[in-house]
Structure 1
Amino acid sequence: MTQEHFQEGTGGRLPWRLGTVASDGRPVTVVETAGTLYLLEELIARTGTPAPAQTAVRDVIEQWDTWRPILTKLAGSSAAARPLERDRLDWLPAIPNPGKIVCVGVNYRDHLAEMGSGAVRPERPFAFIKPRNTLLGHRQTLWLPPVTRKVDWEAELAIIIGRKAFQVAAQDAWNVVAGYCPFNDISARDWISDLVPGLGQDWILHKSFDGFGPLGPLITPAEFVRDPQDLAIRLSVNGEVRQDSSTANMVFDIASVIEYFSSVMTLMPGDIIATGTPAGVGHGRGEYLKDGDRISLSIECLGELDTLVRRR
């Protein structure tokens, strides 16, 4: 996990991240600090730190201002708890139950070109919604649906909203961000070739199959990301790099996207915004995911999200 751009907070506080794993058949929150993972509940119990009773990641995000100092204190006291073996964890989506997942389409200049849009810059962000059934955890298996043969990858930076936001100006948008996380917006490209007369493409269903939204492994708080608008973003399939870009190449930057979406809908703590993908998707070269493929998506300082692809 690359540490560049992953910075200490003021006063030299230890940086920390949040994620979700399965333990005894239930989702539990893990905290990473100094490269080591701990159970949040155990950290609280071992240190005797007062904390809210609800410790799921979404609960933490919904009380973000309350939890941030608690988590900072716990990160500094982590030696009191047992470290977890990262490779033996059963990872779940970093936040398994977001309120909504709002996505930006064609938001990188190079991706506009490869998808046939040329140099035409959209006047405003193009949006669609993905349902929660799409979410998949780190190292979980993406099962290819039998009704599609053109399943594609899309490496994206996800924004995790931390405060209620409606009609937020771009200059204030950073105040509503809790953190960031790698996200893979899987798409069924053969579903977009069938145009419905008078309606066009079906942008919802071709993005909405079960497992079409790997998210994780961890959420990095915004305060520990020096510049989210200048992060390397890469995706490889079976070790071969397919996407290699930077969040600096977005058409609409993070602040503009939050301003635009919040002008239409109220963004709530625990909501996710996926910010679009750069060039290098399979559809541009006629290459699609197949049984046995391994996808690795990395974003500078945010970590690496791995997915195994299988077909029944």
Structure 2
Amino acid sequence: MTAFAIASLLLDGEVVPAVIRDELVYDIRTALPAVARTADLFGDWDRNLDLLADHLDRGAAPAGGIETLLADRRGRMLPPVQPVGPVIAAGANYREHIIQMSVAHGLGSDGASPQQLRAEAAAEMDERIRTGDPYIWTGLASAVSGARDDVVLPDVGHDVDWEIELGVYLGRTAHRVGADDALRHVAGYTIVNDLTVRSLVPRNDMAKIGTDWFRAKNQPGFFPTGPWLVPARFVPDPGALAMRLRLNGEVMQDSSSADLAFDVPALISYASSVAVLQPGDLLITGSPAGNGSHWGRFLTDGDVMDAEIEGLGAQRTVVRGASGELPPWQASR
């Protein structure tokens, strides 16, 4: 079976559920008239994929090349699963990333050298992998954007950081799932850039709570997602995917999902031990080393981020400056 991907395109104001193969676009509705949106595929995911594969193999006529369609029909790439669901996000989940962040923020013993901080962080991370749990938080659907959408810097906070991540779409309901059964619940994989306002993470007014992921990560457009969903049947090993993020052409993150502390099955098992995961939920698995906090360089107006994961396509995000107008809440304080 020739590999293909699932996408959602906005063409002439209409949301089109699409199959992408060899840069050509096929309207899913010609093969599956009952599928109005890509989330409808989850009702019988494997059978629907088989039907789409058969449709393509029988010589289905494409709607056109993806770049031509987007240009001629005033189109854009939407997040691949429509409607967009919640984001279940794993933090602190790449070993080298956590070590870098600990050194960058001076997390460790008072007066420790960078080398000592690194050694402490490595020991702590290894112990957590052996005996601890993943760290999970949630993101809003309203913060999810398309793979080629611009992102506007917020008017509150500074030091906006990038984080390329492997995204996992759930295709079946998962609750109290064991790690050995977890991948059976995966529909497919995508790319997500989990943007973060570093200065909004700490809550100095509530020191015992410590961090505020809601305000730091749920700004509009802060989860560029896509360009498409690659079905799990076409991704032999999600734990061995090369991933890279460039900022203005310069490589900032260059790693592999092999550096995950808790892999995809472990994350699904843990998250489903707490909550009922639904088809269409998007699990993002953490970011590898090479964030702005490590480089001492954060996003500014005009920056261009290019993110790619092996076999999952690529996304491009242009950064736009803040509006210059405070939201009413902050303006009143």
TM-score by length of 1: 0.90
Secondary structure, counterpart of 1:241 in structure 2: strand
For residues 167 and 21 of structure 1, the distance between their equivalents in structure 2, rounded to whole angstroms, comes to: 34
Paired AA for residue 176 in structure 1: H
In structure 2, the partner of 1:67 is: 48
Q: Which 4+ residue blocks in structure 1 deviate beyond 4 angstroms? A: none
Paired AA for residue 33 in structure 1: R
Cα offset, 1:58, TM superposition: 1.3
TM-score by length of 2: 0.84
Structure 2 gap segments, 5+ residues each? 108-120, 324-333
Residue by residue over 1:94-138, the C-alpha shift from the partner in whole angstroms, topping out at 9 and shown as x without a partner, is 124333210000100111101116111231110111101111112
Q: Do structure 1's residue 25 and structure 2's residue 13 form an aligned pair?
A: yes
In structure 1, the partner of 2:118 is: none
The answer (yes or no) to whether the contact 1:15–1:75 under 8 Å persists in 2 is no
Identify the structure with bigger relative contact order (alpha carbons < 8 Å, sequence gap 6+).
1
Give the stretch that moved more between structures: 252-261 or 96-105.
Answer: 96-105
Give the stretch that moved more between structures: 241-250 or 192-201.
Answer: 192-201
Q: Do structure 1's residue 191 and structure 2's residue 191 form an aligned pair?
A: no
For residues 254 and 279 of structure 2, the distance between their equivalents in structure 1, rounded to whole angstroms, comes to: 30
The answer (yes or no) to whether the contact 2:241–2:256 under 8 Å persists in 1 is yes
Q: Do structure 1's residue 105 and structure 2's residue 91 form an aligned pair?
A: yes
Secondary structure, counterpart of 1:168 in structure 2: coil
Cα offset, 1:249, TM superposition: 0.3
Cα offset, 1:40, TM superposition: 2.1
Give the stretch that moved more between structures: 140-149 or 208-217.
Answer: 140-149
Secondary structure, counterpart of 2:53 in structure 1: helix
Cα offset, 1:148, TM superposition: 2.1
Identity of aligned residues (%): 36
- 1:233-244 matched pairs, under 5 angstroms: 233-244=243-254
Alignment partner of 2:67 out of 61, 86, 90: 86
Alignment partner of 2:273 out of 253, 263, 268: 263
For residues 31 and 267 of structure 1, the distance between their equivalents in structure 2, rounded to whole angstroms, comes to: 25
Q: Do structure 1's residue 16 and structure 2's residue 25 form an aligned pair?
A: no
In structure 2, the partner of 1:300 is: 310
Cα offset, 1:79, TM superposition: 4.0
In terms of Rg, which structure is larger?
2
Q: Answer 1 or 2: which has greater helix percent.
A: 2
Residue by residue over 1:53-88, the C-alpha shift from the partner in whole angstroms, topping out at 9 and shown as x without a partner, is 133111113431341211111221354233234252
Count residues with an aligned counterpart: 293
For residues 78 and 292 of structure 1, the distance between their equivalents in structure 2, rounded to whole angstroms, comes to: 43
In structure 1, the partner of 2:23 is: 35
For residues 85 and 132 of structure 1, the distance between their equivalents in structure 2, rounded to whole angstroms, comes to: 25
The answer (yes or no) to whether the contact 2:5–2:231 under 8 Å persists in 1 is yes
For residues 276 and 56 of structure 2, the distance between their equivalents in structure 1, rounded to whole angstroms, comes to: 32
In structure 1, the partner of 2:81 is: 95
For residues 161 and 270 of structure 2, the distance between their equivalents in structure 1, rounded to whole angstroms, comes to: 27
Paired AA for residue 313 in structure 2: G
For residues 84 and 268 of structure 2, the distance between their equivalents in structure 1, rounded to whole angstroms, comes to: 17
Alignment partner of 1:161 out of 170, 192, 197: 170
Secondary structure, counterpart of 1:263 in structure 2: helix
Root mean square deviation of aligned Cα: 1.5
The answer (yes or no) to whether the contact 1:152–1:288 under 8 Å persists in 2 is yes
For residues 183 and 95 of structure 1, the distance between their equivalents in structure 2, rounded to whole angstroms, comes to: 13
For residues 282 and 61 of structure 1, the distance between their equivalents in structure 2, rounded to whole angstroms, comes to: 37
